[in-house]
Amino acid sequence: MAIKVDLEKAYDRIRADCSNAKAIKELLDQFSQYYGHLVSINKTQLYFSPNTDVDTTTEIESIFHFKVVDNLGMYLGIPLLHGRVTGANLRYITDRVQKKLNAWSAASLSMAVRVTLAKAVLSAIPTYCMQVVMLPANVIDEIEKLIRRFVWGGSEQQTKLSLVNWKTVADLLAQGG
């Protein structure tokens, strides 16, 4: 015998009404009594759909005493997004690339080292996020701009002339890059 559970429906969403909230609160209280573990009020948050009316939100908040938030922040390094993915949501990726670049001095590195760092380190920074979220074109363009500037030895204040087409540099070695 097998039991199939649609997990998306099982734990992702709960209809926002007081009877469900009271049932969940009772379960949490029973769990706390039985196992001796307490739910951290400081670390636990409530997120409501924008379609949830204010009265229901207020009632449920008074049952749990958890903080109500507009977004749930980051999980495993990826923002938990509830709406459209925008460049502002993923600004932290370009900031991480810029932070790496600030630690390196392009002027003191050879062209071969800069290309290797760009391909091995800088290009890998957005990879994890790209497995979960499709990056907007403006984020990809900004990252490529930062990498190109580093490879050609430029800085935020000055740009340098490109010696070859960027596609040639970005290609795999087997393809002539």
pLDDT means per 10 residues, the chain with 177 residues, are 43 68 88 86 83 87 86 80 81 92 83 86 88 89 90 67 63 55
Q: Report yes or no: 94 and 122 within 8 Å, Cβ to Cβ.
A: no
Measured distance CA(61)–CA(163) in Å, rounded:
60
For residue 162, what pLDDT is reported?
59
Scan for tokens 């760009």, then name that residue.
118
For residue 1, what pLDDT is reported?
35
For residue 94, what pLDDT is reported?
94
For residue 142, what pLDDT is reported?
93
DSSP 90-149: THHHHHHHHHHHHHS-GGGS-HHHHHHHIIIIITTTTHHHHTTSPPPHHHHHHHHHHHHH
